[in-house]
Amino acid sequence: MSDTRPRVIKVVCQVLRTPPAVINDNSRFVEDLGAESIQSVELVAAFEEEFDIEMDEEAALAVKNIGKAVEFIDKVRMS
């Protein structure tokens, strides 16, 4: 099993100061977790640092929820 999901949740909790109990795969960054524009950019940077990857910023910012972020990061890590 991939370690991506718990690490994504850890980063989201740190950047958005959100308790892990309120986060699930369908949690949307803006609508459900309250991310503002600058925090979305901070999330991308934090994911890159956490996973030691480079992501296309425009494509990464188009990802809207936790589950899709896990899929996106897994794809980037495999390439």
Cα dihedral across residues 21, 24, 26, 28: positive or negative: positive
Per-residue model confidence (pLDDT) at position 33: 97
> Is domain 4-78 given the CATH code 1.10.1200.10 in the classification?
yes
At residue 2, the pLDDT reads: 82
Res 1: pLDDT: 57
Summarize pLDDT for 21-79 with one digit per residue, the tens. 999 999 999 999 999 999 999 999 999 999 999 999 999 999 999 999 999 999 999 99
pTM above 0.75, yes or no: yes
